Amino acid sequence: MTAPHWREQNVNRPVPPALRAYAERLLAGTDLDTDTALVVVTEPAPDHEDSAVLSALRDGWDGAR
Amino acid sequence: MSVEWYDLAQRLYAATHGLLVPRLDARPFGKVSQPVAVRAHVSKGTVVATIALPGQGRHRTTASGPLILDTLAAYGVSLSDQRHWSLVTDDHATLPALHRLARESQPDGPVEHVAALIEWWADRADYPGTAAVVNVVDECRARWVAGTTPDAETSAATWRTWHGIGDESVTGVLALFARLHSAPTLHGLGPIQSDDAHAWTKAREALTGPSTWRTRDPLGAAAVGLRARCDAVEVHAAALLNDARYRRRAVHTGHVVHGVVTWTPGKTAKGIGLAEVACTRLDARLRPQDTIAGWIGHPSTIAPPMRLWGLVQSTSRGTDGSLRLRLSNGNIRALKPGQPVTLTAAPPSEGVIKAGRERYGRLYSRRTSWLTTGRTPTPHRRDVPLDVLIAGAPIDEENP
């Protein structure tokens, strides 16, 4: 069991391998991978702006804040 | 549907920030006044359980077989109390194991009031939003997103870790429960809480007479019980839409529809309001003849300036590819072109639910009713006045 995450706010932690594998499965067939997705949710991404996946990812990310 | 990507972003946010992301701001089950935490399983044909009550772990016991019922009775956990006891657990094996014990116990024996309580738990567990049985893992999944996979979220260990709870025992279940219970109750769960209270009273009353809970429900009671469960599912689903965080996510499942009013004819000759709403998303769950509720504003609006209600008259696809919803009735006439609106299916009415259940119960209790006799009811028709026919005719806007 790892240390409780909730104590470590605002620390950019690496994505755990299991979650990364899950993310790659969900993003398969889109033009995004996990690392790109983590960048484009917060920054302008001219190559992806009109994609449904980016829109949903951004909404989820903003909703988490 | 884009909800999996929406959830994925929240999982990634939780993982990279080391924070639980709330799915709901409120607690999706009723207020619990007396929790008892139990973990039970069947080992070599014998039920083994660990029981804990809140209060610094002063009551924690492991027992097996019929002694479990004795232990619960010794703790005062029974149907004899005025306030109902809630079973708190973190797995799906506990309640069936306890239920088996209750059914195997001696009828009208010294722990009958405990066995009847377990039966009450088993019955109420079918009602979403009930405060009678709380599975902390299921409720944590409803309340938060963790920075992990959906599979990992089915484990109590995951939630203990994310909440920083080191106690893996049944006392840790109570600690997790306390985190869940600290939020306010989700608005709209009133009918389910009333049902809990009513069912508790009925179960206590039944204890004073001959034991009835061990026998099969009569047909009418079973039918009304099934209907009550369906009602609870609808009430719970509608209550979730009262939570702003849930609504935001529900845009991606099609349960919340957002669009802009593009056309209104004003008040029609028949006095019925009409409006057309253009929605960029095509995955709306609303269908023609669905009753709708909504407000002027965006899905995350917390205090909508105006409530809307009405009916979906038709759906079509606009030339620009948008989904066009034609709305009518209710107070739709108040809409103006250009206004952003958010729409959902109308929540079930508590009065309609109650009246429907009573009518259903009456039909099943009367031996001569069409439902108990199995006869198709004879339709009684009469002439419809011309004015009513005209008022009910479809509206053709191009040739009024």
Quote the CA–CA distance of B54 and B61 in Å, as a whole number. 13
The pLDDT, as a whole number, for residue B301 is 76
The pLDDT, as a whole number, for residue B61 is 84
The pLDDT, as a whole number, for residue B155 is 97
Quote the CA–CA distance of B28 and B345 in Å, as a whole number. 19
Cβ contacts of B9 on chain A, cutoff 8 Å: 37, 41, 56-61, 64
Bridge-based pairing state of the strands B291-296 and B340-345? antiparallel
The pLDDT, as a whole number, for residue B388 is 75
**How far from the centroid of its chain's Cα atoms is residue B296's Cα?**
26
The pLDDT, as a whole number, for residue A8 is 45
Interface contact B150-A22, CB threshold 8 A = yes
| pLDDT tens figures, A7-57 | 444 557 899 999 999 999 999 988 889 998 888 888 777 776 678 899 999
Query: Residue B293's beta-bridge partner residues?
Result: B309, B344
Cβ contacts of A7 on chain B, cutoff 8 Å: 18, 164
Q: Which segments within chain B are labelled E, that is strand?
A: 21-22, 34-43, 46-53, 59-64, 85-89, 133-135, 144-145, 257-263, 274-279, 291-296, 307-317, 323-328, 340-345
What is residue A24's three-state secondary structure? Answer: helix
Amino acid at B252: H
The pLDDT, as a whole number, for residue B360 is 85
The pLDDT, as a whole number, for residue A7 is 43
The residues of chain B scoring below 50 in pLDDT are: none
What backbone torsions phi and psi does residue B166 show, to the nearest 5 degrees? -85, -20
**Chain A: nearest CA to B134, how far in angstroms?**
23
Predicted ipTM of the assembly? 0.86
- Name the interface residues of A facing B (CB cutoff 8 Å): 1-2, 4-16, 18-19, 22-23, 26-27, 34, 37-38, 41, 52-53, 55-61, 63-65
The pLDDT, as a whole number, for residue A2 is 42
Interface contact B11-A19, CB threshold 8 A = yes
Amino acid at B105: S
The percent helix, strand, coil of chain B (3-state, each to 5) is: 40, 20, 40
